[in-house]
Structure formats: structure tokens, C-alpha cells
């Protein structure tokens, strides 16, 4: 019986490549977030149990792998915060608490994600522009959410400016928390951030 081209043990070449990429992404996240390890391609491949040949199958270089991790974390943040807000109903305070709560819970469940996406990426010249783009993206989402709820900035400023102020403030707060510079519980972070949003709009 003929074997289908690219199929090994019933698994297609595309599926195997996707699985290797997922392993490399997880390894990049783990190595990047570990202060005891240098973030090198060798360490990432060792952690993933794959050769450099397979690394280049998915990424052109280490920066590309780190950018992919950054994008993946950002996508997860967007998904969980949007879903939490929608599930909270129409009450503004409940939506704000739920959305910020989902974000903070994501960081509590896996602190590595906040460490690399919010703290470490800011320190890397190669990733800083993409991190800034993502912050502006989340600021735009915040502004859109406010418009959909018929909210207006209390200051009378543009929606996008207020969205950026909110997201930038939350990013700095979380950075200080992850660095240990701010002693606060996750619940306190949620309360402060949600009240900040509510204070910016009416």
C-alpha cells in the first residue's frame, strides 16, 4: 500500500511542523523568562529538544521567535479580556473589573507571560517598537470599547489619547508589580486599574 507523501505515522508534515513550532515557542518563553539562562538559540533548542535545523524551519532568527511569543501573549490577553467583559453583562463597573481581572489572572497563572511581554520586551531595542505597537493597539481597543458603551473622556480629550493613558498606566503598574517594586495583591491591582478606567470616563 502506498504511503502518502509527507505523512509519517498518520501525521502530516504540516502538523508535525506546527507541533515543532509550538514546542519552540514554549521553549522560547521558558528560556526568555528564566533569569538564570541566557536567551540564546542553543538554549531554546535544548529546552525544546530540537535541533537548530528545526528552529530555522519556523523562525529566521531568535528575534523572530521572541516576537512570535510576544504576539501570542498579546493575542491571549486580548481574547481573555474581551471574553470576560462580554460575560460580565452591561454594567460598566462589572465589565471593567472583569476585563482587568482576566488580564491579571493570566499573569498570576503564568507570570512568565507578563515578564517577557511587558518587562523584557521593553528592554530589547529589536522588540521595543513592536511592544509599543501592541500597547497602542490595546489603547485603540480600550477607546473602541468606551465608544461602544457611549462613554466620553471626563477630560474632554480624544478617546485614543485617553485609551493610551490607561493602557500605559496599567503597563507601568504591572511592570512595577512584576519587578517587586510594588507590594500589592492581584485583587488590589484589579481594583486600582478598574477604578482608573472608570475615573477616566463618564
Question: Poorest-confidence range of 1-5, 74-78, 91-95, 156-160?
Answer: 1-5
Q: What is the mean pLDDT of residues 157-168?
A: 95
Instruction: State the pLDDT at residue 2.
Output: 43
Residue 19 is placed in which grid cell? 507541533
Does residue 91 sit in the same domain as residue 164?
A: yes
Question: Is 121 inside a domain boundary?
Answer: yes
Q: What is the mean pLDDT of residues 128-142?
A: 96
CATH number for the domain harbouring residue 149: 1.10.357.10
Question: Poorest-confidence range of 4-8, 44-48, 102-106?
Answer: 4-8
Instruction: Tell me the residue range of the domain where 33 lies.
Output: 9-59
Instruction: State the pLDDT at residue 3.
Output: 45
Instruction: State the pLDDT at residue 1.
Output: 38
CA atoms of 152 and 135, how far apart (whole Å) = 21
CA atoms of 71 and 191, how far apart (whole Å) = 27
CA atoms of 30 and 13, how far apart (whole Å) = 26
Question: Which pLDDT band holds residue 9 (cuts at 50, 70, 90)?
Answer: low
Does residue 89 sit in the same domain as residue 32?
A: no
**Is the per-residue pLDDT at 202 higher than 90?**
no
Does residue 34 sit in the same domain as residue 76?
A: no
Does residue 92 sit in the same domain as residue 153?
A: yes
pLDDT digits (tens, 9 = 90+) for 31-74: 999 999 999 999 999 999 999 999 999 999 999 999 999 999 99
Question: Is 2 inside a domain boundary?
Answer: no
Question: Which pLDDT band holds residue 11 (cuts at 50, 70, 90)?
Answer: confident
Q: What is the mean pLDDT of residues 157-165?
A: 94
Does residue 79 sit in the same domain as residue 173?
A: yes
Does residue 140 sit in the same domain as residue 194?
A: yes
The domain total for the chain is 2
User: What pTM was estimated for this model as a whole?
Assistant: 0.90
Long-range own/partner contacts, residues 166-170 (CB < 8 A, 24 or more apart) = 166/139, 166/142, 166/196, 166/197, 166/200, 167/135, 167/138, 167/139, 167/142, 168/135, 168/139, 169/193, 169/196, 170/100, 170/103, 170/196
Does residue 18 sit in the same domain as residue 103?
A: no
Does residue 114 sit in the same domain as residue 192?
A: yes
The pair phi, psi for residue 9, each rounded to 5°, is 55, 40
Question: Which pLDDT band holds residue 7 (cuts at 50, 70, 90)?
Answer: low
Question: Is 80 inside a domain boundary?
Answer: yes
Amino acid at each position: 500500500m502506498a504511503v502518502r507523501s509527507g505523512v509519517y505515522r498518520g501525521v502530516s508534515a504540516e502538523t508535525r511542523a506546527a507541533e515543532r513550532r509550538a514546542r519552540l515557542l514554549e521553549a522560547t518563553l521558558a528560556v526568555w523568562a528564566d533569569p538564570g539562562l541566557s536567551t540564546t538559540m542553543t538554549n531554546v533548542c535544548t529546552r525544546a529538544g530540537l535541533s537548530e535545523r528545526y528552529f530555522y524551519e519556523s523562525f529566521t532568527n531568535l528575534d523572530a521567535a521572541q516576537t512570535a511569543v510576544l504576539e501570542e501573549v498579546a493575542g491571549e490577553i486580548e481574547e481573555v479580556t474581551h471574553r470576560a467583559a462580554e460575560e460580565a453583562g452591561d454594567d460598566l463597573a462589572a465589565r471593567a473589573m472583569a476585563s482587568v481581572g482576566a488580564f491579571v489572572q493570566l499573569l498570576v497563572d503564568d507570570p512568565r507571560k507578563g515578564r517577557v511581554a511587558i518587562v523584557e520586551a521593553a528592554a530589547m531595542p529589536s522588540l521595543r517598537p513592536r511592544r509599543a505597537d501592541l500597547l497602542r493597539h490595546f489603547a485603540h481597543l480600550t477607546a473602541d470599547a468606551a465608544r461602544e458603551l457611549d462613554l466620553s473622556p471626563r477630560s474632554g480629550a480624544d478617546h485614543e489619547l485617553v485609551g493610551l493613558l490607561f493602557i500605559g498606566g496599567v503597563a507601568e503598574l504591572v511592570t512595577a508589580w512584576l519587578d517587586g517594586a510594588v507590594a500589592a495583591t492581584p485583587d488590589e491591582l484589579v481594583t486600582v486599574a478598574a477604578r482608573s478606567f472608570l475615573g477616566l470616563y463618564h
